[in-house]
Amino acid sequence: MTDMKKSKIVITGGAGFVGSYVVEQLIDDGFENIVIVDNLFRGSRENIKESLLTGKATLIEGDIKDRNLLDNLFSGCDYCIHLAALRITHCAEHPREALETMYDGTFNVLEACVKHKVKKIIFSSTASIYGQADKFPTDELHHPYNNYTLYGAAKMANELMLRSFERMYGLPYIALRYFNIYGPRMDTFGKYTEVLIRWYRMIKEGKAPLIYGDGKQTMDFIYVGEVAKATIMALKSDCKNEVFNVAFGKETSLYELCNLLLKAMCSNLKPQFVDVPLERRKVEVFKRKADVSKAKKLLAFRAEISLGEGLTNLVKWLDSLEMTK
Ligand SMILES: NC(=O)c1ccc[n+]([C@@H]2O[C@H](COP(=O)([O-])OP(=O)(O)OC[C@H]3O[C@@H](n4cnc5c(N)ncnc54)[C@H](O)[C@@H]3O)[C@@H](O)[C@H]2O)c1
């Protein structure tokens, strides 16, 4: 393991939400040669400021569509954590960009891994590949045919590319299907701010948080730090050529989530139910609950940070942003 910590790790998308935690935890763990490649389309230097100051991580501002850049970066690389991707909504609005980043970009990363004899690649897949699952808890063998999103299609294609590259060239891989990630540094300013951020703002203004519909839709929330932990455990593990769900393994309804957020913000307000606005009527996923037993068994990973605790961290961070406004 001592040797592994000296190895060169290339992290695509490492300046993003999840990536910035992965970089931080790798440094805390003793890794000292981390190369982040990120085009800063969504990520930022601010996210990785502390990590860059340690001198153990460097940021190359570049794009995974740039094959020459990847060829240079991957020279001498031992491991790769491939996180760079576009968001689900962005893929739907700009399908060709999705093709270029998610399919071609990932292909470029895999090609560079093979050329430079990378020992293992960890890939960030998603629960979106299940679409609205038929079975709960949903295990990794669940079929992908309920997915109707281009983002989910690209991630599934990426997993299949990994399988074929392993078979053709012997490139070892692990694909992690992340579920609903939340925590400090999550997107607050995008066009599609997440429900938690919308509620946070309403509660701050003393207004009852609005729940569209009956609030019974469920998700399987996992704290961002735990996702980073699972990613590093997958990297360090002897396990290879496997796919894992990365989730808490517990479903939480939007109604419960709203109440937990109110509690984390010490608010006495009550959620208010309203009709779903027209533009939001096409909800494709009503229920999510992952089977997390495979990750527990093969990677010894189990999420431990409760939603209440994680939301308290999120609120602290959001409050700190408010203060700097
Ligand atoms: N956040 C979630 O809830 C969630 C859930 C499931 C899966 N995932 C997956 O986990 C990974 C990390 O997600 P995140 O939430 O940190 O997203 P993010 O958008 O914060 O991070 C992705 C990073 O990739 C960078 N990037 C995008 N296109 C690039 C390109 N062409 N070249 C180089 N860099 C590029 C962005 O600038 C960003 O920093 C992604 O692959 C995402 O699909 C996330």
Q: What is the mean pLDDT of residues 207-230?
A: 96
Indicate which atom in ligand 1 lies nearest the CA of residue 38. 34
Instruction: Please give the Cα distance from 227 to 21 (Å, whole number).
Output: 9
Residue to mutate, 49, 103, 178, 227, ligand 1, most ligand atoms under 8 Å from C-beta:
178
Q: Would you call the peptide bond into 137 cis, given omega within 30 degrees of 0 as the criterion? A: yes
Tell me what pLDDT residue 324 has. 72
Q: 307 versus 187: which is more confidently predicted?
A: 307
Tokens of 81: 């954590």
Tell me what pLDDT residue 29 has. 98
Residues 6+ apart with CB under 8 A from 91: 97, 98, 102, 149, 150, 151, 154
Q: 190 versus 156: which is more confidently predicted?
A: 156
Q: Are 65 and 108 spatial neighbours (Cβ–Cβ below 8 Å)?
A: yes
Q: What is the mean pLDDT of residues 180-189?
A: 91
Ligand 1 touching residue 103 (CB < 6 A): no
Tokens of 10: 């290339």
Q: Which domains are assigned to the chain? A: 2-181+221-249+293-299 (3.40.50.720), 183-219+251-284+306-320 (3.90.25.10)
Question: Is the pTM value of this prediction over 0.75?
Answer: yes
Q: Are 253 and 221 spatial neighbours (Cβ–Cβ below 8 Å)?
A: no
Tell me what pLDDT residue 190 has. 59
Tell me what pLDDT residue 111 has. 98
Question: 3-class secondary structure for 185-232?
Answer: CCCCCCCCCCHHHHHHHHHHCCCCCEEECCCCCEECEEEHHHHHHHHH
**pLDDT surpassing 80 at residue 325:** no
**pLDDT surpassing 90 at residue 191:** no
Instruction: Please give the Cα distance from 304 to 98 (Å, whole number).
Output: 34
Q: What is the mean pLDDT of residues 75-96?
A: 97
Q: Are 85 and 43 spatial neighbours (Cβ–Cβ below 8 Å)?
A: no
Q: What is the mean pLDDT of residues 308-315?
A: 98
pLDDT digits over 141-159, tens only? 999 999 999 999 999 999 9
Task: Based on the residue annotation, tell me whether 151 is a catalytic residue of this protein.
Answer: yes
Half-sphere exposure of 202 (CA within 13 A, CB side): 20
DSSP state of 80: E
- 3-state helix vs strand vs coil in the chain, percent to 5: 45, 15, 40
Cα(16) to centroid(ligand 1), Å: 6
DSSP state of 105: I
Nearest residue (CA) to ligand 1, atom 34: 38
Alpha-carbon dihedral sign for residues 4, 181, 21, 62: positive
